[in-house]
Structure 1
Amino acid sequence: MSPVIELGEMRHGEEADEPSRAPGRPPGRVARVVAVCCLALLTLAGATPPARPPAGLKVPAPQGAIFLVLAGRLVVADGPGTVGLGGRVVTGHRLPGGEPLWRFTLTAGDHVLGLGTVAGGLLVTSSPAGAGDTLSTLLDPATGAVRWRQSGYPVSTASGGVLFETPRAAGTGTVLAVDPASGAVRWSLPLPSNGVAYRTGDRGVTQIVLVTPDGRVEVHDADSGALVRAGRVPPAADRVSYRFTQVVADLLLVDGAPGTVTAYGLDRLDRRWDVPVEPRAGVWFVECAGMVCIRDQVGGVRALDPATGRPGWVDDQWIGMAPFGGRLLGAQPGVGLELELSVLDPATGRALARLGRWRTAGVESGQLLGLRRLTGDRTLVGTLDVAAGEARIRAVLPGSWDECADSGTALVCLHPSGGLVIWRTGR
């Protein structure tokens, strides 16, 4: 077995806390590993340390704000975690200078749930105070002008379209498709009381899966809404709802016999396998780059072969797991909010590379970043490349930061007490 590669570690004295040590290695390979590590250390020692970027440009933002980098613009919103605000606004700023461009004010009482993109536009999802449906508003990112509005929570499709999900009690909710250019409703489907599940590809949803409490299953195409397949599974034990109704990869997972979950193939709705689950709450299934992983609140991961349900590998050290392309990003306990991150082979669970200790950021902007606290009140920002198994240093910033996004020529970071700063970094 090839040795695990250590990546992303700083020179001695740079970190505020001692980095974790590499795992033990077979005695017969010590000499070779030492030689490789010495070469790596010499290379790092000779490299020019990343220069601090020039002084940052400040942009007003409340504590707990959310932000997005889109089409050369910085969009800032008073998110659901904002502190001490009476209203909710969204503002657009030019990058990299931070000049204000426009301001959009939500209806009184609404607050922003999230920011996203659809067909080159900015999608603002908000929720009213008290009862009421979630509302999504598409804005022009250059001017802030409203293009259209639609009730429901947005879900992107693989073809670039958008669905809006509006669940309601007693099975009266809907899922509908909207023309991204005009906002016109193209088609809609009623939602059962169980809600909706989605089959996804690399770019978004490909199929809509509806399961009623009496066991009827409908699979619809996400683009046309057409019924692709219909069948039945055993009804929910209480005839009201299932404990599990999940779509993972090409499988529909629902309650089986007591203490088990049964997998059905979505292509034929044929029963594939059963797997026992712990009775405790918080057990869920996730797609693991070709495998099916079972996780719970206690920690650890159990991987199954999706075709047979047979155990693949088990590892109790992981407290988090996420697929990236054909690999997995696994997280172990670190220091505070910073976790020890590794790239894993999904078929075996073996660590292929270690990225070091990071707090992840930038996921919403499409560029996975890592933040690491350094001595002297500084923050190391790295680009985490899961496919390559590399953590590349992006910048060293003064101060501490909650979240960052990378525009390609600038880093935008949010201070814990509020306020954004734009750091011009170059590519």
Structure 2
Amino acid sequence: MSADAGSAVSRAPDPVVSLPITMTDEAALIELDRPVPRAGAGTTPPVRRHRDVGLLLATLLVLALGGAAPTGSVLWHRLPVIPLGDRSDADYQIVGDRLYTIAGEGHRHVTTAWSLDPVRRLWSVTLTPPEPAPSPGLVLMPGPGSLRESGGVLLVSFDPYTLVLDRDTGAVRWRSAVPVDPVPGGRLGVVQEQVYRPGSVYDTSSGDPGMLYFSPSGVAHREPPERTVLTGVDLATGRRLWRTAEPGSVGVSQPDAAPGSVLVLTATRLVLRDAATGAVLRRRELDELRGAAGLSSDIVGDVLRVYSGAYGDGGRVTGYDTATLRRLWQRPDIPVPGSAANCSGVLCANDGPGPAVLNPATGTVRWRPNGGRSLLALDPDTLLEAGESNVRPLRTVDADTGRTRTDLHAWDAYLDVPEPGPLIVTRNVRSHGTVFGAVLPGAVAVQPLGYADARMVACRAGTRHIACLSPAGIQVWSYRV
């Protein structure tokens, strides 16, 4: 066993990962198991506080009578505040039954894991991603940290760098100089490395116009990559499982319709590979798109959308079944000038003043929302329609017909739930606080949850917890519906 410099725990040596993962060193300072101090007993609140609470309870009653669901089996419990100390700029995420914070200190980042039932600090680690390599050209600096859990490990990404941590201790297991894409439902991941022609780096001093192509490491090039190397890895160890190369740049997706696989889009074909072995499961030549420029793709449900041609200049979008690779439909991709449609997890077209929801099987228009500019898939059968700012919820609707299920005009905002779970909505009650409610799958009304006696900001939601920033730190509540 060995330990990184400055580490408070020991760990196994980093594995030797060959091709294309670049191993770099950083300090890992880990502290374990510091309990959260309990707040002291409060004093008896003044009469004014009772009046304010009465107003809030009256507001909840009005909501219940005016469109909210009757209160059922609900548990709303305030948990201890998670202190941020002098790291008030920290960002945070709720992942399952944990809350993670990321705070930047120059080029050093402190990641801390907290359990939520009960609230207790588990570990804290200081990470130092490598500095970008010297380059005469334009280089994008690493972005803020983001977190994902998969296969029992925690992936901390400072775009493009990824550090894979032990979920239980925070120890660094392995590192990659390029992004790592986990395959849902297991311990597998895919790493892609673009290989460019020597001498193709864009020199900013030249001032030459033209298209630029950025590598995963953030370096700008004057021409696209010659090839892309794909490597399947074991997320727990970083061990290489398979390796292959495709000409040019590629797009890699993980289809839900084919678990344990990766779908690769090249300039000429679609290839479905086994994520564990790299073996080709299915292949389709894209004769219908041969010669098209600027291919890109994304997955919505069980449909792979492939965009071809310059955006807004007579391009096309083609839908393919992600399990069989069969072509389903093709339609023009010509957005209307000034259109501000925003769809997340919804198959739609941006060809009018608002999004048009498409039939996944045919690509034809099913319905158009009335006044809403943004659509978010809550589950396969339900969509959320939000206002132009994509903040204020308007209603939940049937995904097939657009028929209203829950009217949300009385609510001010909604919280993204990263896992399958209820939609959490909030409403500010004058100067008295924030009311929280939940919309369950298939529900026709809002279920009141509880309230906070202050205006809450920067709130996040999980399937069992809600957290918001407060002057004292991060206030957490648990809820059940």
TM > 0.5 fold call: yes
Residue 103 of structure 1 and its aligned partner are, at CA, apart by 1.8
Residue equivalent to 1:77: 102
Q: Which amino acid aligns with 1:378?
A: G
Could you say if the C-alpha distance between residues 106 and 348 of structure 1 is closer, same or farther in structure 2, counting changes exceeding 3 Å?
Answer: same
Residue equivalent to 2:116: 95
Q: Which amino acid aligns with 1:260?
A: R
Could you say if the C-alpha distance between residues 46 and 405 of structure 1 is closer, same or farther in structure 2, counting changes exceeding 3 Å?
Answer: closer
Match of 1:138 among 153, 158, 165: 165
* Root-mean-square deviation (Å): 4.3
Q: Which amino acid aligns with 1:233?
A: L
Q: Which amino acid aligns with 2:402?
A: G
Match of 2:461 among 405, 409, 412: 405
Could you say if the C-alpha distance between residues 102 and 286 of structure 1 is closer, same or farther in structure 2, counting changes exceeding 3 Å?
Answer: closer
Tell me if the contact between 1:93 and 1:100 (Cα under 8 Å) persists in the aligned partners.
yes
Residue equivalent to 2:146: 114
Residue equivalent to 1:161: 187
Residue 39 of structure 1 and its aligned partner are, at CA, apart by 9.8
Match of 2:414 among 349, 353, 360: 360
Residue 365 of structure 1 and its aligned partner are, at CA, apart by 6.0
Tell me if the contact between 1:341 and 1:358 (Cα under 8 Å) persists in the aligned partners.
no
Tell me if the contact between 1:403 and 1:414 (Cα under 8 Å) persists in the aligned partners.
yes
Match of 2:271 among 196, 218, 223: 218
Residue 266 of structure 1 and its aligned partner are, at CA, apart by 4.8
Please say if 1:346 is aligned against 2:367.
Answer: no
Unaligned runs of 5+ in 2: 1-54, 132-141, 195-223
Tell me if the contact between 1:137 and 1:146 (Cα under 8 Å) persists in the aligned partners.
yes
Residue 391 of structure 1 and its aligned partner are, at CA, apart by 3.0
Please say if 1:245 is aligned against 2:297.
Answer: yes
Secondary structure (helix, strand or coil) at the match of 2:371 reads coil
Residue 267 of structure 1 and its aligned partner are, at CA, apart by 5.3
Q: Tell me how far apart the structure 2 counterparts of residues 392 and 413 of structure 1 sit (CA, whole Å).
A: 20
> Any idea what the Cα deviations from partners look like across 1:254-306, whole Å, max 9, x if unmatched?
43894433334455555443312325688888654xxx32236x752212333
Q: Tell me how far apart the structure 1 counterparts of residues 417 and 71 of structure 2 sit (CA, whole Å).
A: 32
> Any idea what the Cα deviations from partners look like across 1:391-417, whole Å, max 9, x if unmatched?
322321123221233574x643224x8
Residue 164 of structure 1 and its aligned partner are, at CA, apart by 3.1
Q: Tell me how far apart the structure 2 counterparts of residues 157 and 252 of structure 1 sit (CA, whole Å).
A: 19
Residue equivalent to 2:281: 228
> Any idea what the Cα deviations from partners look like across 1:203-258, whole Å, max 9, x if unmatched?
x9654333333x2332223344221222322476876532x434442445343894
Q: How does 1:118-129 map to 2 (within 5 A)?
A: 118-127=150-159
Secondary structure (helix, strand or coil) at the match of 1:386 reads coil
State the identity as a percent: 20
Could you say if the C-alpha distance between residues 113 and 174 of structure 1 is closer, same or farther in structure 2, counting changes exceeding 3 Å?
Answer: farther
Residue equivalent to 1:177: 232
Tell me if the contact between 2:74 and 2:449 (Cα under 8 Å) persists in the aligned partners.
no
Q: Tell me how far apart the structure 1 counterparts of residues 262 and 67 of structure 2 sit (CA, whole Å).
A: 54
Could you say if the C-alpha distance between residues 401 and 286 of structure 1 is closer, same or farther in structure 2, counting changes exceeding 3 Å?
Answer: closer
Q: Which amino acid aligns with 1:126?
A: F
| Structure showing the higher strand proportion among its residues | 1
Tell me if the contact between 2:405 and 2:443 (Cα under 8 Å) persists in the aligned partners.
no
Residue equivalent to 2:333: 277
Could you say if the C-alpha distance between residues 332 and 106 of structure 1 is closer, same or farther in structure 2, counting changes exceeding 3 Å?
Answer: same
Could you say if the C-alpha distance between residues 126 and 199 of structure 1 is closer, same or farther in structure 2, counting changes exceeding 3 Å?
Answer: closer
Residue equivalent to 2:126: 105
Secondary structure (helix, strand or coil) at the match of 1:170 reads coil
Q: Tell me how far apart the structure 2 counterparts of residues 116 and 278 of structure 1 sit (CA, whole Å).
A: 35
Match of 2:448 among 370, 393, 399: 393
Match of 2:242 among 161, 175, 187: 187
Could you say if the C-alpha distance between residues 319 and 345 of structure 1 is closer, same or farther in structure 2, counting changes exceeding 3 Å?
Answer: same
If the length of structure 1 is used for normalisation, what is the TM-score? Answer: 0.71
Could you say if the C-alpha distance between residues 184 and 76 of structure 1 is closer, same or farther in structure 2, counting changes exceeding 3 Å?
Answer: same
Residue equivalent to 1:30: none
Residue 144 of structure 1 and its aligned partner are, at CA, apart by 1.9
Unaligned runs of 5+ in 1: 1-9, 16-36, 128-132
